[in-house]
Structures are given as C-alpha cells and as structure tokens.
Amino acid sequence: GAVVSQHPSRVICKSGTSVKIECRSLDFQATTMFWYRQFPKQSLMLMATSNEGSKATYEQGVEKDKFLINHASLTLSTLTVTSAHPEDSSFYICSARVGPSGGYNEQFFGPGTRLTVL
Amino acid sequence: DAKTTQPPSMDCAEGRAANLPCNHSTISGNEYVYWYRQIHSQGPQYIIHGLKNNETNEMASLIITEDRKSSTLILPHATLRDTAVYYCGPHAGGTSYGKLTFGQGTILTVHP
C-alpha cells in the first residue's frame, strides 16, 4: 500500500524558534496533501490543503503566516511553524492523495509529528 | 458541513463482532461513506468506504442503509489490536478535491 512518511517524528524546541516538518509520499505521487493538527484527547482538525505547485488553502482560523506550507514537488510537502509558542504544541499529521480522479480518493496518512514548544 | 454523529465510546469482547454505528443524515448523492481509525499516537488508517452498496474487505464490512443516512462498520472478530478511535463520515469522491473532516469518533475498547 501507499506509504507516507513524516520527519521528524518528535521535536522539542524553544519558544520563538521555527520548526519545519516534512511530509513525503514514498511510493506514489501526491497531487494533494493535507495538514492536520490534533490536541490531546481531541479529533484531528484540518489546517490546510496543499496542491503541488500552488498556494495552500487554509481553513478558517488557521494563520497562514504562522503555518507556512510548501508543496514543491509531487512527493514532498513541508509545514513550517514560525515563531512557535507553547500553545502550538500538538500532534501534526499530514496525508496525501492521488487525484482527483473518478471514484473514491483515499487519503494516506503519515505517522505524525509530536511538537513540544518549551 | 455535513453533520456526522457517532457514539463516543463502545466496548467489545475479544473475538466477538464489533458493530460501530454512524449517522450521516445530510450526506449528498456524490459523497462516499468512509471509515478510518486511529490507534493511539499514530496517523489514521483507512478501513473501508462505500457509496450505496454494502462492502467488505480484509479488515471489515460496511453496511449502508438504503437511504444512505446511516451506516455500520462491522469488525467480525475483534482483537485487542482493534482498540482505537474510529471515524466515519461523508467524503466527496470523483473529481472533487473534497476535504476529509473528522468528527469526534468512537473510542472502541476491545477487552480480553
């Protein structure tokens, strides 16, 4: 099956620094990638949709200048959390899909990145 | 957005069938019913999807009511490793870039 990787799996940083998280589709080309955030004991919240070669579409309430998304190739999308603060501590998960195409477009999820901001 | 409701939690004995319900009363004609699950601290895992007909794969069976307003995911022989949060809902397929949004899900606990 299709595999999506994320790097790093876990990161701890100081308040005010920026952190980059990579999301890669390993064995397929992902036209679209999605970024989610998940706080403890809560559901996944979609942050943004990223299409290769174009600007990301952010969900309402998500600051695009704080969460920079780059989808430079069909196998790589990056999320940069700029000037991170403790409230940005969360589990960040990406997903990737091929398409759109006829039928159901399954999303393949990465294993997630645990960000802790001190 | 379409509203999806699931029971917050369910228990199941190991080896028994787990039947997880989902209400998606506002699903539209071109939307699939999807199920994913998330084991603690991991990314979600695709389970199954369907449009109108019941579906079965190596993981589970999906029963969709005739009016498509609700569905049931069946894990025929639950194991301890099936303990997870299960998410369902409508998802646009076809040529849509339809977003996959997650509700609160059902926490399934499989006990010995």
Which of B46, B96, B107 is the best residue to mutate to test the A interface, defined by the most A CB atoms within 10 Å of its own CB?
B46
Question: To the nearest whole angstrom, how far is the Cα of A104 from the nearest Cα of chain B?
Answer: 5
Burial class (CB in 10 A: 0-12, 13-18, 19+), B111: exposed
Question: In the Cβ-directed half-sphere of B101, how many Cα atoms lie within 13 Å?
Answer: 15
- Regions of chain B with pLDDT less than 70: 1-2, 93-98
The pLDDT tens digits along chain A (118 residues) read 689 999 999 999 999 999 999 999 998 888 889 999 999 989 999 999 988 888 899 999 999 999 999 988 889 999 999 999 999 999 999 999 875 555 567 789 999 999 999 9
How far is B43 from B45, CA to CA, in rounded Å? 7
**pLDDT value of residue A31:** 82
Q: Do B43 and A93 touch (CB under 8 A)?
A: yes
What is the model's pLDDT at position B1? 47
Are A103 and B49 an interchain contact pair (Cβ–Cβ within 8 Å)? no
